[in-house]
Amino acid sequence: MSSSWDRHSPSSATGFDTFEGEKPWAAQFNNQVNGDETHARSTMATNIDNDDVDIEITAGQKMLSAMSGSLLTSLLATPLDVVRVRQQSQPTPSPLATIAKLAAKSSRPFSTLPPNLGVTACCREVFFNNGEYCLAAPRIGEISRSSAECIVEETERKTINSTFDGLRKIARNEGITTLWRGLSPTLVMTVPANIIYFTGYDWLRYNDKSPIKRLASDNYSPLISGATARIFAAGIVSPIEMFRTRMQASRATSGTHFSETLQAMGEMVKSNGYTSLWRGFTLTLWRDVPFSGLYWWGYESIRGALTEMRERSRGRSVERGDPRARARSRTRSQSRENHRNTFTDSFLAGATSGAVASFVTMPFDVGKTRRQVFVDSAPVAAGVKKALAPEERPMPRFLLHIFREEGFAGLWKGWIPRTLKTAPACAIMISSYEVGKRAFRGVNEKRERNAGAL
């Protein structure tokens, strides 16, 4: 085991456990990597004095750990994020419901068709498409049954009914690379956001100078620390997230979606000012702050329970008294685990906690997405009071509007792709972060050991 464990072992008066001291350093290192239970008869240290701390890792090492997890998470989770955004932003009720009625009736003025039918390839042989309305050629007239069926077929290609349906249709109709649309802004957003988020959480949760550590009960410290760290991270990257969300919602070709999204956001800034870049930020906080609080509270609870189960299986006693002493005892044990157990515990705890927090906060994610992809209507005449669109209402009223119009299904639209994305993303991110910290701690321990031998 590590030198820090040996140094504080109660069975050693010389600074090293006599059971381990008879073994060469190579054997001890092999025991650490392979999880050998040579200390199964020892008890978990419960001394919580300030001297009983593990070797710290630097802020730069924490940032590198967070960066590696961010890169891997973004690559794996972006396709599911694209499907979620498309599913949440597509018209409700589905255009298929409207078009099915047209197919059943052969006499329907074509000029009454809504502008969101998504008519493209197969209908170009029959209609002219001006991008807003699909008009009959050579003149506006009655829509035939075959033409209506053509519209139904084409619209069905663009309507996402489930997560895997969305993955299949987007890849087939728009190219598989479309599933990674928005990856560049995702990386630009995720890397600094996670660096701020994870290192900020560690500081708020464990640093002696943190007001949360000094004042908050340890039972609620993960919740408060996670929520606070998320506020700072979300505020910094909110404009980038809006750009990414609009790009993922766009159905433009791969060669134009970036420029069109950039142009649309430029026009939005000209009309509404730079504060419009933070449109939906309040909803983002409503989603991310409770999500982060629930996630960290659940993560530390689950991982702590797994740690204590492993300690009991090794025959060690577990701290049951003061919550702060119990938390420090858990943290001390976790910092001395081998890489395999560190990865397993953090992965399971991150996936479970992330899935639950994702489902609970889903309505706020729906509201945030719809507000960010909302396009302002054309200006009205002078002196005429403009009616507020539902997306422009305060967050509680907007969510109430969604509930009244679409029910609970509307508030949880896209929860499957979001959960399928969030659970593994949380698991990969936190396990990469924890394993990275564990590796850097091992490097620092070795450096200190070598320095002490000089």
Q: For 411-425, what is the mean pLDDT?
A: 87
Which residue, 437, 154, 97, 426, is CA-closest to 291? 426
For the ranges 30-34, 188-192, 394-398, the lowest mean pLDDT is seen at: 30-34
Q: For 277-303, what is the mean pLDDT?
A: 87
Q: What's the whole-number average pLDDT of the chain? A: 73
pLDDT above 90 as % of the chain: 18
**What is the structure's pLDDT at 212?**
93
Determine if the pTM surpasses 0.75. Answer: no
For the ranges 113-122, 186-195, 252-261, the lowest mean pLDDT is seen at: 113-122
For the ranges 58-67, 173-182, 273-282, 426-435, the lowest mean pLDDT is seen at: 273-282
Confidence tier at 132 by pLDDT (50, 70, 90): very low
Q: Which residue type occupies 247?
A: M
Confidence tier at 387 by pLDDT (50, 70, 90): low
Can you spell out the DSSP letters for 6-54? HHH-TT-SSSS-HHHHTS-HHHHHHHHHHT--TTTTS-------TT--P
**What is the structure's pLDDT at 154?**
58
For the ranges 52-66, 95-109, 235-249, the one whose mean pLDDT is highest = 235-249
Check pLDDT > 70 for residue 367.
Answer: yes
Distances in Å between the Cα of 115 and the Cα atoms of 43, 99, 193 are: 70, 12, 38
For the ranges 104-108, 123-127, 228-232, the lowest mean pLDDT is seen at: 123-127
Q: For 92-98, what is the mean pLDDT?
A: 52
CA-based max dimension of the chain: 98
* Integer Cα distance of 133 and 318 in angstroms: 69
In the chain, domain spans: 43-90+175-377+387-453, 97-159
Confidence tier at 93 by pLDDT (50, 70, 90): low
Check pLDDT > 90 for residue 317.
Answer: no
SS3 labels along 89-116: HCCCCCHHHHHHHHHHCCCCEHHHCCCC
Phi, psi of 219 (to 5 degrees): -65, -30
Q: For 286-311, what is the mean pLDDT?
A: 91
For the ranges 43-47, 209-213, 349-353, 355-359, the lowest mean pLDDT is seen at: 43-47
Residue 110 contacts residue 142 (beta carbons within 8 Å): yes
Q: Which residues lie below 8 Å from residue 442, measured CB to CB, with a gap of 6+?
A: 2
| The architecture CATH gives domain 43-90+175-377+387-453 | Alpha/alpha barrel (1.50)
- Residues of 169-182 as b/e, b for ≥16 C-beta within 10 angstroms? bbeeebeeebbbbb
* Integer Cα distance of 306 and 296 in angstroms: 15
Check pLDDT > 80 for residue 23.
Answer: no
Q: For 338-357, what is the mean pLDDT?
A: 93
Looking at the chain, how many residues does it have? 454
Would you give the distance in Å from CA 381 to the centre of its chain?
42
User: C-alpha angle 247/250/256, rounded to 5°?
Assistant: 80
**What is the structure's pLDDT at 432?**
92
For the ranges 84-93, 102-111, 125-134, 249-258, the one whose mean pLDDT is highest = 84-93
Residue 213 contacts residue 206 (beta carbons within 8 Å): yes
